[in-house]
Amino acid sequence: MTPKILLVIAALLALQLATSRVVWASDPSPLQDFCVVDNSSKVFVNGFVCKSMDDVKAEDFFTYGLDKPGNTINKLGSNVRAVNVNTIPGLNTLGISMARIDFAPRGLNPPHTHPRATEILTVLKGELYVGFVTSNIGQTNRLFTKILKKGDVFVFPQGLVHFQFNRGHTRAIAIAALSSQNPGTITVANAVFGSKPSISDEVLSKAFQVDQKIVDRLQAQFWMDNNN
């Protein structure tokens, strides 16, 4: 082969690799009008198997109750009601979901990430202090924060740790839209201190540069909170 042909082949391979990464990094793309989840299927795929078009009903694209306030009587003072593919089977392959978030006064939606989605949040009532932290850029994890009032909108980039806090003395409500049918949620404190089985206290002690007794107390507290 001539050098020119080899160069063309290399370029085509690079293009295919780049394209493949883009495809696999996102939700499955629809190849038909819709792909409503077939909950009776035992086949395991990346996403969900479609049921027959003949069996699809309007209810497959419907849910209700987002007008009702969530119960915020808990230690965090917040409640998240997710509307994703597990709630609306018609969302399968459509790459979108949403959530209603209710906050009691001083309520917190604690630091967490959505590994598969960017989030855009709109405040419907009250005032929220929100923010996200960048990934490890050099030795710095930069924090971006904003005070949001009714009607304000803020974006949390995909995969980055973020939070929302109602610093006021009245209830707050927000609606979030997310760029995945199933964004996933990793609550940082729960994942680190409440995993099953537990992460070694020696590992956590060294990571956080604190005494192992502090780690033991935190793990015990998370265990109690999740088993009561």
Q: What is the pLDDT of residues 157-215, one digit of tens each?
A: 999 999 999 999 999 999 999 999 999 999 999 999 989 899 999 999 999 999 988 98
Q: Report the pLDDT averaged over residues 119-141.
A: 94
Q: Which residues are annotated as a binding site for Mn(2+)?
A: 112, 114, 119, 162
pLDDT value, residue 50: 93
Structure tokens at 66: 């987002």
- In this structure, the dihedral spanned by the alpha carbons of residues 201, 205, 210 and 216, taken in order and rounded to 10 degrees, is -10
DSSP state of 169: S
pLDDT recorded at residue 102: 98
Non-local (6+) Cβ contacts of 202 within 8 A are 212
How far is the C-alpha of 208 from the C-alpha of 188, rounded, in Å?
13
Write out pLDDT tens, residues 23-74. Answer: 445 676 778 899 999 999 989 888 899 999 999 999 999 999 999 999 999 9
pLDDT over 70 at 9, yes or no: no
pTM of the entire predicted model? 0.83
Reported in sequence order, the residue ranges of the chain that DSSP labels E, i.e. its strands, are 78-83, 97-103, 108-113, 119-125, 128-133, 143-148, 153-156, 161-165, 172-178, 186-187
Q: Which residues are annotated as a binding site?
A: 109, 112, 114, 119, 162
Strand partners, 79: 102
Q: How does pLDDT run across 70-86, given as a tens digit for each residue?
A: 999 999 999 999 999 99
- Cβ-in-10-Å burial (0-12, 13-18, 19+) of 32 comes to exposed
Taking every pair of Cα atoms in the chain, the longest distance, rounded to a whole number of angstroms, is 74
> What would the mean pLDDT of 76-103 be, rounded to a whole number?
97
Angle between helices 201-208 and 212-226 (to 10 degrees): 120
Backbone angles phi, psi at 42, to 5 degrees: -100, 0
- Confidence class for position 221, pLDDT limits 50, 70, 90: confident
Query: Environment class of residue 43 by beta-carbon count within 10 Å: exposed (0-12), middle (13-18) or buried (19+)?
Result: exposed
From the annotation, which residues make up the binding site for oxalate? 109, 114, 119
